[in-house]
Amino acid sequence: MFNLVHVLPIADKQSLKSDLRYARSTDDGSSNVDNKAFGALFTYALGFHSFGLGYQKMSGDTGYAYINGSDPFLVNYVQIGDFANKDEKSYQLRYDYNFAGLGIPGLTFMTRYLNGDNIDRLNAAGEGKEWERNSELMYVVQDGPLKNLGLRLRNATVRSNIGNDIDENRFIVSYSLPLL
């Protein structure tokens, strides 16, 4: 595995973040794992706005192998999908906004759209395709007795010709406990 993250300051309240990732999974013993995963995510930050553009490509005899429930190290691993099928190429458009710019610190918004194609459907005819859209609104309490309590509302929509279509909503409550 290889990961390179770099943030380039451009001007006051402007930056360009590059996140490049490469992973190689090979046959070890009796498995049939053979995959190369390349991903790149570029994020331009301008004040309280962020605009992201991502690309991910799978190559080899299998899709990306990882233990389900673990973080698979992929830039296009999102709420429902991982876009890591055999030969899949996927693209991501992302937008984030921090409402501190409007005087509401702790409130953030994110939306992204991912599209994957060129999926090897093995014995099925035609090329596999899928897309996913995510939106998230999150608030973290900034002070008082509930400081660091996070409330997150997430929505995802998935459409695919290789699996099930999914519509999902999640409400997540979290609490960050400072240890030091």
For residue 100, what is the domain's CATH number? 2.40.160.10
Residue 22 lies in a domain: yes
Separation CA 93–CA 81 (nearest Å) = 15
Separation CA 98–CA 69 (nearest Å) = 29
Separation CA 21–CA 77 (nearest Å) = 12
Separation CA 150–CA 168 (nearest Å) = 20
> Tokens 């998230």 map to which residue?
136
Residue 180 lies in a domain: no
- Per-residue pLDDT of the chain (180 residues), as tens digits, is 899 999 999 999 999 999 999 988 877 666 778 888 999 999 999 999 999 999 999 998 888 887 766 667 899 999 999 998 899 999 999 999 999 999 999 999 999 999 999 988 777 778 899 999 999 999 999 999 999 999 999 999 999 998 899 999 999 999 988 788
Nearest to 121 by CA among 63, 79, 38, 35: 63
> Which distant-in-sequence residues (6+ apart) come within 8 Å of 141 by Cβ?
106, 147, 148, 149, 150
Phi, psi of 151 (to 5 degrees): -120, 125
Q: How many domains does the chain have?
A: 1
Q: How does strand 49-59 pair with strand 89-98?
A: antiparallel
pLDDT at 68: 66
Residue 9 lies in a domain: yes
Phi-psi region of 36 (alpha: psi -120 to 50; beta: other; left: phi over 0): beta
Residue 163 lies in a domain: yes
Q: How does strand 128-140 pair with strand 14-25?
A: unpaired
Separation CA 21–CA 5 (nearest Å) = 9
What range does the domain containing 53 cover?
A: 2-175
Nearest to 112 by CA among 72, 57, 75: 75
Measure CA of the first residue to CA of the last residue in the chain; give whole Å.
Answer: 31
